[in-house]
Amino acid sequence: MNEPLAERLRPKTLADYVSQAHLVGDNGSLTQHIKQGLIPSMLFWGPPGTGKTTLANIIATESGRPFYTLSAINSGVKDVREVIDKAKQSGGLFTTKNPILFIDEIHRFSKSQQDSLLQAVEKGWITLIGATTENPSFEVIPALLSRCQVYILNAFNKTDLETLLERAIEKDEYLSKKNITLKETSALLRISGGDGRKLLNVFELIVNAHDSNDIIITDDMVLDKVQNNTVRYDKTGEQHYDIISAFIKSIRGSDPNAAVYWLARMVEGGEDVKFIARRLLILASEDIGNANPTALVIANNTFQAVSTIGYPESRIVLSQCATYLACSPKSNAAYKAINTAQQLVRQTGDLSVPLEIRNAPTKLMKELGYGENYKYAHNYDLNFANQEFLPEAIKNTKLYDPGNNARENAHRDFLKQRWKDKYGY
């Protein structure tokens, strides 16, 4: 049987679709749209093997719309225009259901290719569904992004993956004829990395390696078979997320040797230089932050540099940045501060801004006390005036707790001198 297991088991209806309950479950954000056939243009953003293409097909089927598909890997502006022309003709005057155009890996489209979609989406000639493994905020032009809803698909969880395996054993025409027992699944699930397609295809590889129809799946068996069939780095999926994770964790763990090794794996695999540089930029703030503010400057300059020069020279700039960040003192205090602050906002809602620090651009606002009694810091010794800046309900709440490093210890001393015991520094 030449067709891969993942393709043979591809769901045809929403009832058979596994995972993404936040989108297509009983209370999913897409469920009612699909049932009513009111489909907006949208972008599916998520890791490989999470059902983006399958969901697009199901939406088209269940809403009764013509369905056209393109892959950004091998399609150009000419292909886009041809499909749009066909879509306009198939829509015609006799249906209110405009055709769906599905574009896989839409992040690979150039600006001009994305521009060619704008009018068709704006006029409603097509409903666009794009699939991407990359952050649409960076890879999709703003004009197109503003015309689409963005839905995030998550990697499959343990229950989802086990459901896929059980379904394969029970329903696949080929596997159902065998006596397969899932004694252990940990290795299979770990290798899949939350990628449903990878899970099924590895599972089929293991089953096909046995001549007998009686097969007991164990972790040792899986690891033995898969180690002999390792997949080289694939920037479109597969090891993509595992290796960038190893890269980031090596830098966070202050190991420049491991960092540059994982960087080399990505460089040799042809990974997008901007993808690597973006992750370095995030890490410079999330994991280093105020322990070494220069790290963010270097990471930002790295992003700008690699965006300009590309490969092969970008590898040198990336190596310099990665090794510098790995050797920097670490702090996640700023990252923790915004997380804590956001949680506080969700708990307390829209608390009123204290009157004395409100803006007062009009006479009425001044009469109402806006800005009254505000202490202008520069009019006081050390450019500091002791006053309350938080809403009354949460005053004295400490959200930023400096890390234990030279620079942030200086921050703590500064805050202790200014605020005394107010925040407990």
- Cβ atoms of residues 24 and 153 within 8 Å: no
Query: Domain boundary at 168, 196, 227, which?
Result: 227
Choosing from 152, 176, 204, the residue where a domain stops is 152
User: What is the SS3 assignment for 327?
Assistant: coil
pLDDT at res. 327: 95
Are both 319 and 362 inside the same structural domain?
no
Please compute, for residue 191, the number of CA atoms within 13 A of its CA located in the half-sphere on the CB side.
Answer: 25
Establish if 397 belongs to a structural domain.
yes
Whether 198 and 275 share a structural domain: no
Contact of 291 with 328, CB cutoff 8 Å: yes
Q: Is the pLDDT assigned to residue 184 strictly greater than 60?
A: yes
Amino acid at 310: G
Residue 168 shares a structural domain with residue 134? no
Q: Is residue 233 part of a domain?
A: no
Say how far apart CA 86 and CA 66 lie, in whole Å.
Answer: 10
Residue 401, domain CATH: 1.10.3710
Same domain for 217 and 300, yes or no, is no
Expressed as residue numbers, the domain containing 147 is 20-152
Length of the chain: 425
* pLDDT range class, residue 94, cuts 50, 70, 90: very low
81, 133, 256, 309 from 68: Cα distances, Å:
12, 20, 47, 36
Flag whether pLDDT at 97 surpasses 80: no
Q: Alpha carbon of 128 to those of 83, 144, 203, 318: distances in Å?
A: 12, 10, 34, 36
At residue 372, the pLDDT reads: 85
Q: Are residues 190 and 143 in the same domain?
A: no
- Range with the lowest mean pLDDT among 197-211, 245-259, 268-282, 366-380? 366-380
Tens-place pLDDT, residues 212-265: 888 999 988 888 887 644 445 555 554 677 888 899 999 999 999 999 999 998
Tokens of 378: 């520069």
* Overall average pLDDT of the 115-140 stretch: 90
DSSP symbol at 108: G
pLDDT for res 96: 53
Domain count, the chain: 4
User: Does the residue 172 lie in any domain?
Assistant: yes
Query: 10 Å Cβ neighbour count for 225?
Result: 17
Q: What is the pLDDT of residues 2-37, one digit of tens each?
A: 788 999 999 998 888 988 999 998 888 888 888 887
Residue 56 inside a domain? The answer is: yes
**pLDDT category, 277, cuts 50, 70, 90?**
very high
Residue 25 lies in a domain: yes
Query: Do residues 190 and 226 lie in contact, with contact meaning Cβ atoms separated by under 8 Å?
Result: no
Q: What is the CATH number of the domain that holds 75?
A: 3.40.50.300
Return the minimum-mean-pLDDT range out of 141-145, 175-179, 209-213, 228-232.
Answer: 228-232
Beta 127-132 vs 42-45: how paired, if at all? parallel
> Does residue 341 belong to any structural domain of this protein?
no
